[in-house]
Amino acid sequence: MEKLAKRVQKLQDQLLAKQWFLVNDRKNVSYLSGFTGTSGYVLVSKNKGYFLTDFRYTEQAKLQCPHLEVVTHEQIVWDTIASLTQGAEVLFVEESHMTLEHYNQLSEKVKAEVKGSKNLVEDLRIVKDGDEIALIKEAARITDEAFEEICAIIKPGVTELELARELEFRMKKKGASHVAFDFIVASGKRGALPHGVATDKVIEAGELVTFDIGAVYKGYHSDMTRTVAVGTISSQLQEIYEIVLTAQKEALNAVEAGKTGYEIDKVARDIISEAGYGEYFGHGLGHGVGLDIHEEPRVSPNGKTVLKQNMVITIEPGIYLPGVGGVRIEDLVVVETTGATRLSLSSKELIVLC
Ligand SMILES: [Mn+2]
């Protein structure tokens, strides 16, 4: 609980007198409050901290958020916010998460000036603590185990969707509460679609199949991609596999605190470009993972954030050849002061299944 109180304190430290901040994004609310229900707001000033929820959740909130003053809000939550923030000059809201409709309704009710703010909570979430890393590690372990099991049933004749469903079932059996996103199972020419979610396409011999999968464990996500061969693949597919694997390993070796996302991205991008496939790697190298599947920091050509110890990021280069197929290999890693710790432990050498 002390940990949750410290998170709130860090936010309060950024506010001046007569400034308030309303948090409505569900992940941000959960990060600050520990609340696991679906309806709640965190409202803080420099020295006050409230958790607002409706009648359904009042008792749950009192149990989960003892570091905040729990208030059952009126039918219209903006009325409660208006009365709690009397005398305020500015009320910051999360401009990336509040709808324009809600912004207008809130502005009509409160006397303070309602102003947008960006990434106040996200910037706290970017570096993980030990408990958070343990949960992400567990989500990654579930993913590794489920993937290993389904490798036994990947063969010509099964569909992408059958494999996706089997993965989901096995992850949940192993303790995942949800899947982290709609799984990408992209076989053959569909492998050229970086986000080709599973379809009823039948897998055939001679194809590569890209699996981009992840589990959610106690709110925290994992993210891993592996590409496997079904039967004998063409020399071109073998070639791009080896290039992506080299780029992935080298980028991973380059990860450490003090470097920017841009620098890490460049390691993989240069290898793929020098091999002649630069134009076929059209996305960033990776991203942060935590309560959201995609969060800060970006590890891309625009990644200005300097990596710090205990950030959790993905390293996922790919090559996508339209009309031919594609390869992506992705590990989830913890940034360390020197190097990185891999959380995705599935083998990255080309697996050939028959
Ligand atoms: Mn990813």
Same domain, 320 and 248: yes
Q: What is the pLDDT of residue 354?
A: 80
Return the amino acid letter for 7. Answer: R
Ligand 1 centroid to 213 CA: how many Å? Answer: 9
Same domain, 134 and 71: no
Ligand 1 centroid to 40 CA: how many Å? Answer: 29
Ligand 1 centroid to 317 CA: how many Å? Answer: 10
Ligand 1 centroid to 236 CA: how many Å? Answer: 25
Same domain, 82 and 211: no
Ligand 1 centroid to 147 CA: how many Å? Answer: 16
The answer to whether residues 305 and 202 touch, using CB atoms and an 8 Å cutoff, is no
The answer to whether the predicted template modeling score (pTM) of the entire model surpasses 0.85 is yes
Same domain, 90 and 236: no
Q: What is the CATH number of the domain that holds 45?
A: 3.40.350.10
Query: Exposure string (b/e) for 75-108, b if CB count within 10 Å is 16 or more?
Result: eebbebbbebbeebebbbbbeebbeeeeeeebee
**What token pair was written down for 134?**
């343990």
Q: What is the CATH number of the domain that holds 211?
A: 3.90.230.10
Q: What is the pLDDT of residue 157?
A: 97
Ligand 1 centroid to 181 CA: how many Å? Answer: 10
Ligand 1 centroid to 21 CA: how many Å? Answer: 31
The answer to whether residues 105 and 77 touch, using CB atoms and an 8 Å cutoff, is no
Same domain, 69 and 143: no
Q: How many domains does the chain have?
A: 2
Return the amino acid letter for 130. Answer: G
Instruction: Tell me which residues of the chain have a pLDDT lower than 50.
Output: none
Ligand 1 centroid to 289 CA: how many Å? Answer: 8
Q: Are strands 69-72 and 49-53 parallel, antiparallel or unpaired?
A: parallel
Question: Which residue, 125, 152, 185, sits at the end of a domain?
Answer: 125
Ligand 1 centroid to 284 CA: how many Å? Answer: 10
Question: Which residue, 96, 125, 154, sits at the end of a domain?
Answer: 125
Question: Which residue, 91, 125, 159, sits at the end of a domain?
Answer: 125
Same domain, 97 and 140: no
Neighbour order of strands in the sheet with 312-315:
295-299, 286-288, 312-315, 331-335, 340-342
Ligand 1 centroid to 30 CA: how many Å? Answer: 22
Ligand 1 centroid to 224 CA: how many Å? Answer: 7
Same domain, 97 and 222: no
Same domain, 54 and 17: yes
- In whole angstroms, what is the distance from residue 23 CA to residue 245 CA? 41
Counting residues of the chain whose pLDDT is more than 70, the rounded percentage is 100
Same domain, 86 and 165: no
Ligand 1 centroid to 178 CA: how many Å? Answer: 16
Same domain, 157 and 222: yes
| Chain position carrying tokens 């960033």 | 284
Q: Find, among 151, 148, 179, 152, the residue nearest to 165 by Cα.
A: 179
**What token pair was written down for 328?**
């992506």
Ligand 1 centroid to 330 CA: how many Å? Answer: 7
What residues are paired with 295 via a beta bridge?
A: 288
Ligand 1 centroid to 226 CA: how many Å? Answer: 11
Q: What is the pLDDT of residue 219?
A: 95
Q: Find, among 268, 288, 297, the residue nearest to 223 by Cα.
A: 288
Ligand 1 centroid to 287 CA: how many Å? Answer: 7
Ligand 1 centroid to 252 CA: how many Å? Answer: 14
Ligand 1 centroid to 107 CA: how many Å? Answer: 37
Same domain, 213 and 343: yes
- In whole angstroms, what is the distance from residue 115 CA to residue 107 CA? 9
Same domain, 234 and 104: no
Ligand 1 centroid to 28 CA: how many Å? Answer: 20
Rounded alpha-carbon distances, angstroms, from residue 88 to 8, 26, 221, 313: 19, 24, 37, 38
Residue 99: give the domain boundaries. Answer: 2-125
Q: Where does residue 300 rank: exposed (0-12), middle (13-18), buried (19+ CB within 10 A)?
A: middle
Asked whether the bond before 194 is cis by omega within 30 degrees of 0, the reply is: no
